[in-house]
Amino acid sequence: MELIVARHRADLVRARRGGAVALVPTMGALHEGHRTLIREARVRADQVVVSIFVNPLQFGPSEDFSRYPRTFDTDLEVCRAEGADVVFHPAVEDMYDPSRQVSVSAGHMGTIVEGAVRPGHFDGVLTVVLKLFNLVRPDLAIFGQKDAQQLSLIRRMVADLDLPIEIVGAPTVREPDGLALSSRNRYLSADDRRVALALSRALRAGAAEFTVPGILAAARAELDAAGPRLGVDYLVLVDPATFAEVSESYAGPAVLAVAARIGDTRLIDNVILTLNSG
């Protein structure tokens, strides 16, 4: 079946057909990580909708909204190759009325860890995701685990607002050298990339330890070894449901998360661990 490109809300209504619908929300610049999300959606649903929309609400005034990569023609080929049925690609003015007043609040979880570094970011994420849910009306939506706090907040929104949507988290996809796939990786020079590999090394080092202090110390040592070109925003070990930092006696699932800047490029990464008390 031919790939449908829907640019307006009415186009989505016409494109919808029977059966289960899966939504894969993206900002474009699609890479292998996005391909795995589309493949997962293809397995789980009768119709796969991929949204491509660079959402201005989730960018701060000094962030990279204007230079965020926009590769729509190439993205369409990716969607076509992976068997997507519909690409939703609205203009900003179609998504946000100039008189808009109501947004989604991410609450306390939206103000900590990543939210502390990027104030308002998660309010913008949840607002656009809720709008996409209302427009596409999917039965399930698939997000990457690389954006772990985003995934947790979307699950919280779905639970708190009683949305009838299954949220599926897909594992992080990595390049052969360990760097987590990101649309922003294309900003990195060869030297920047060598520095950026400290993030995945730190996560591997932390995952090899067994105590909260040991995990954080081992990960921190790898980050420190990268030198001053790596500007670390945070390194935390958190409860995946709340993103609150865990105590030394914590037992259960945890997320070791890191964010850092290399030159003008900011990258995030994480790994899921299971901690045993004592």
Round to whole Å and give the CA distance between 48 and 141: 10
Query: Beta-carbon neighbour count of residue 91 at 10 Å?
Result: 10
Closest by CA to 128, choosing from 162, 100, 166, is: 100
Q: Is 28 annotated as a binding residue?
A: yes
Tell me whether residue 183 is annotated as binding.
yes
CA distance 220 to 261: 15
Beta bridge partners of 26: 52
To the question of whether residue 29 is assigned a binding role by annotation, the answer is yes
Q: What is the largest CA-CA distance in the chain?
A: 57
Residue 27 counted as an annotated binding residue:
yes
117 is in an annotated binding site: no
Residue 188 CA to residue 265 CA, distance in Å, equals: 7
**Residue of 8, 34, 108, 121 with catalytic role:** 34
121 has catalytic annotation: no
Instruction: Give CA–CA dist 74/86, Å, rounded.
Output: 15
Annotated binding-site residue? 101: no
Which of 238, 240, 233, 237 minimizes the C-alpha distance to 213? Answer: 237
Q: Is the Cβ–Cβ distance between 29 and 18 less than 8 Å? A: no
Instruction: Determine if residue 173 is labeled as part of a ligand binding site.
Output: yes
149 annotated as a binding-site residue: no
Q: What angle do CA 173, 177, 179 make, to 5 degrees?
A: 50
**182 labeled part of a ligand binding site:** yes
Task: Find out whether 115 is annotated in a ligand binding site.
Answer: no
* Positions at the binding site: 27-34, 58, 144-147, 150, 173, 181-184
* Positions at the binding site for (R)-pantoate: 58, 150
* Positions at the binding site for ATP: 27-34, 144-147, 173, 181-184
Catalytic residue numbers, as ranges: 34
* Positions at the binding site for beta-alanine: 58
